[in-house]
Chains A and B, each alone.
Chain A
Amino acid sequence: GAVVSQHPSWVICKSGTSVKIECRSLDFQATTMFWYRQFPKQSLMLMATSNEGSKATYEQGVEKDKFLINHASLTLSTLTVTSAHPEDSSFYICSARAQLSSYEQYFGPGTRLTVT
């Protein structure tokens, strides 16, 4: 149980284009989903917290107009990187908190974004 999927697993895009990443909880309903970014040899950096049906809460320093998050249902959240630039190249990982669980977060497999 507690399986989270992400799509795509990797994507290469050109500078200036937008990329959408999907995060799905497959066998549970996720009240809260989180989006992280991880650069090589660094720890996870929380970008934003999203709750189903409400606006995402962004961490300090994360541009909400650049990283658009939508959490339209209890099983799906999307992250859209708008007008991507090479410095946005990173490993993007989502996690989900199950509705009735304790505080455990289950991570998706991640999406590796390369902007050329």
Chain B
Amino acid sequence: QKEVEQNSGPLSVPEGAIASLNCTYSDRVSQSFFWYRQYSGKSPELIMSIYSNGDKEDGRFTAQLNKASQYVSLLIRDSQPSDSATYLCALKNSGTYKYIFGTGTRLKVLA
């Protein structure tokens, strides 16, 4: 059973701090990984995709991928209250275009 695991949280961080969200996966063949943000009552919004080992930065967001250890993380620098949401980790199921989603981590940024 291919799985994507995330701590459900909530993860609480003070405004301005770095929020670190982690995700582990079981399928060693997976090559494509995605982070989505979902506000309550809304649909997911793509933050970033990452395909290669290492870091990928986009503004305040940095995705980190370590295929050997089978984890992918998302760092949010200078966290803002508006970043409070559920963050979903997803991987593309090998051989298809389908995603496998984690259950999400709820982030609370405290003003």
Contacts and interface: CB of A to CB of B under 8 A. Distances in A.
Interface residues of A, number: 18
Interface residues of B, number: 20
Given A110-B42, A110-B43, A105 B99 contact: yes
Contacts of B44: 44, 93, 107
Interface of A: 32, 34, 42-44, 46, 49, 93, 97, 102-110
Contacts of B36: 107
B111 to A, nearest CB: 24
Contact of A104 (B49, B98, B101): B49
Contact of B98 (A42, A43, A46, A102): A46
A104 B33 CA distance: 9
Contacts of B67: none
Contacts, number: 45
A116 B78 CA distance: 45
Contacts of B51: 102
A93 B43 contact: yes
23 contacts: A34-B98, A42-B103, A43-B88, A43-B101, A43-B104, A44-B44, A44-B88, A44-B101, A49-B96, A49-B97, A97-B97, A102-B32, A102-B51, A103-B32, A104-B34, A104-B46, A104-B49, A105-B99, A106-B46, A107-B36, A107-B43, A107-B45, A108-B43
Contacts of A108: 43
